[in-house]
Amino acid sequence: MKNAFAGWRYLWKSQDIRRKLLVTFLILVIYRLAANIPVPGVDSGVLKSVMTSATGSGFFAFLDLLSGGTVSNFSLLSMGVYPYITAQIIIQLLVPIFPALQRRMQEDQREGRKLQERWTYYLAVPMAALSAIGQINILNSYAASQQSGSQIVPFGFTADLWLPSLAILMTMVGGTMFAIWLGELISEYGIRGQGLSLIIFAGIVAKIPANFAALLRDKTNGWILVIAMLIVMVAVIFAIVYVQQGRRNVPVMYPGRRVGNRMSMPVKGTLPLMVNLAGMIPLIFASAILQFPTLVASWMLRSSNEGVLKFATGMRDIFSGQGNQAWVYWLLYFLFVVLLTFFYTDVMFTQQNYGENLKKMGAQIPGVTRGNPTQKYLTRVQRRITLPGALFLGLVAILPFLINLVLTAVKINTGASSSTLFLTTSSGLLIVVGVVRDTFMNIDAELKLHGYDEKLLVK
């Protein structure tokens, strides 16, 4: 403990690090203040009624989680940085499809990253527009089903509504780009490389106290739920840290160096392969895929055909994780997370091209031929160790549903607020633990860069 406090003392004494921390904190405060500004034209009464009944669904809970609770008040930042993350994933998945782009990434990684970032920004704008339209239509369809003819916000490209609808759309897209810009400012002037992660982190952490307060309002089971959530949080944090730190160290022989007329012996080393290389990406991407049927259903609900309306309502309820068929949504969510973990890991691992890189260094895995056979061997090992990581992510994704089943079995009532907290406890903690770990690693690197190494901290 004494050493830890000494570390913070040295941390604050460094003028450059102190400035970065203060800049990061100030930008996060600005983001949270902007998150309370609602979209123009929102009917707060209808919105409150809809969110009270729908927030417990997997769909709305995940949207509210990623946006840091801004969906609940339909803020201009209600999409958070989610469209940018989706665009980033799409661009990363498209790189292997286009050989010229993949070749450029391998030849000049710096220019390749700049090109990738530029196209990610270009794609984020239409993705934000589509997400805004989908979000408005889905919320309006819930409002109309609960209160006939009601709308959370007037929206539609008709002769009377096209101008306010365009203004609402531009406001929401602008809010998303503003959040992305704040994240980039943090990465540039604050804690390096942690901008977007800290934006999401701030939203999740800011939402947890309100969710605990909502649980405590339940006079019958409030304290039972709070204790259950604390136990789940500790268990989930332990599991996340254990899996995230999981490595498979593959032995590698590096060539010896020539020193004068002598040649040194080959050096034994290891190549660490991560159990969970994909991180939070599969959960986000699986959620994006499962949003598509809900978006289609929101358009079909405008039909005057009774059969189409019944089908669209059923599809909307299933893919929002509500009703007696909620298990269908959670089962699909689990399967998509597991499959996308393997897919995304394969894509990222192929881009790293360990086989060729080790060959250029003259290194070799004992018993494995250099080049393509090495890449195939490492890919086989990576897929094998990805299985427990994929199953872990799948369980994290459906943890809210499993906890609800357990609490229902023991006859403890769970409302919308508790379901949202369950999701924050599982998926949210996966982000929180990852961001905290990466942030401390960055700060530790900054301390060492400024001369405050571990020996100084111990003294």
Q: What is the mean pLDDT of the chain?
A: 77
3-state SS class at 270: strand
Distance CA 151, CA 383 (A): 48
DSSP 157: S
The highest-confidence range among 5-14, 52-61, 63-72, 117-126, by mean pLDDT, is 117-126
8 vs 185, higher pLDDT:
185
In CATH, the number for domain 2-458 is 1.10.3370.10
Q: Which of 1-10, 116-125, 272-281, 379-388 shows the lowest per-residue confidence on average (mean pLDDT)?
A: 1-10
Q: Is the pLDDT of residue 302 over 80?
A: no
- Which string of DSSP letters, residue by residue, matches 331-353? HHHHHHHHHHHHHHHHHHHHHH-
Contact yes or no for 278/341 (Cβ under 8 A): yes
Share of the chain above pLDDT 70, in %: 78
pLDDT of residue 67: 67
The highest-confidence range among 54-63, 193-202, 421-430, by mean pLDDT, is 193-202
Digit-coded pLDDT (tens) for 387-441? 988 998 888 878 777 777 776 777 665 554 445 455 555 667 777 787 887 777 7
Q: Is the pLDDT of residue 71 over 60?
A: yes
Digit-coded pLDDT (tens) for 81-112? 878 888 887 887 777 777 777 777 666 667 77
pLDDT of residue 178: 92
| Average pLDDT over every residue of 220-236 | 77
pLDDT band, residue 320 (cuts 50/70/90) = low
Tokens of 195: 């901008």
Structural domain spans, the chain: 2-458
Write the single-letter amino acid at 111: E
113 vs 25, higher pLDDT:
25
Contact yes or no for 76/38 (Cβ under 8 A): yes
334 vs 264, higher pLDDT:
334
**What number of CA atoms fall less than 13 Å from residue 349's CA on the CB side?**
26
Q: Is the pLDDT of residue 380 over 80?
A: yes
Task: Label residue 40 exposed, middle or buried (CB < 10 Å: 0-12, 13-18, 19+).
Answer: exposed
pLDDT of residue 21: 85
Q: Is the pLDDT of residue 57 over 60?
A: no
In 3-state terms the chain splits into helix, strand, coil percentages (rounded to 5) of 75, 5, 20
pLDDT band, residue 324 (cuts 50/70/90) = low
pLDDT band, residue 323 (cuts 50/70/90) = low
Q: How many CB atoms lie within 10 A of CB 302?
A: 14
Query: What's the pTM?
Result: 0.76
| Average pLDDT over every residue of 308-330 | 73
| φ, ψ at 242 (rounded to 5°) | -60, -45
Query: Please, what is the end-to-end C-alpha distance for the chain in angstroms?
Result: 13
Q: Is the pLDDT of residue 4 over 50?
A: no
Q: Which of 271-285, 371-385, 404-418 shows the lowest per-residue confidence on average (mean pLDDT)?
A: 404-418
pLDDT of residue 52: 67
pLDDT of residue 112: 74
**375 alpha-carbon distance from chain centroid:** 29
Taken as a whole, the chain contains a residue count of 459
pLDDT band, residue 457 (cuts 50/70/90) = very low
pLDDT of residue 258: 62
Digit-coded pLDDT (tens) for 126-180? 988 888 887 887 778 777 766 666 778 888 777 788 888 898 899 999 998 998 9
Distance CA 211, CA 422 (A): 10
| φ, ψ at 271 (rounded to 5°) | -115, 105
Q: Is the pLDDT of residue 53 over 80?
A: no
Q: Which of 58-72, 289-303, 316-330, 437-451 shows the lowest per-residue confidence on average (mean pLDDT)?
A: 58-72
Q: Which of 93-102, 175-184, 335-344, 447-456 shows the lowest per-residue confidence on average (mean pLDDT)?
A: 447-456
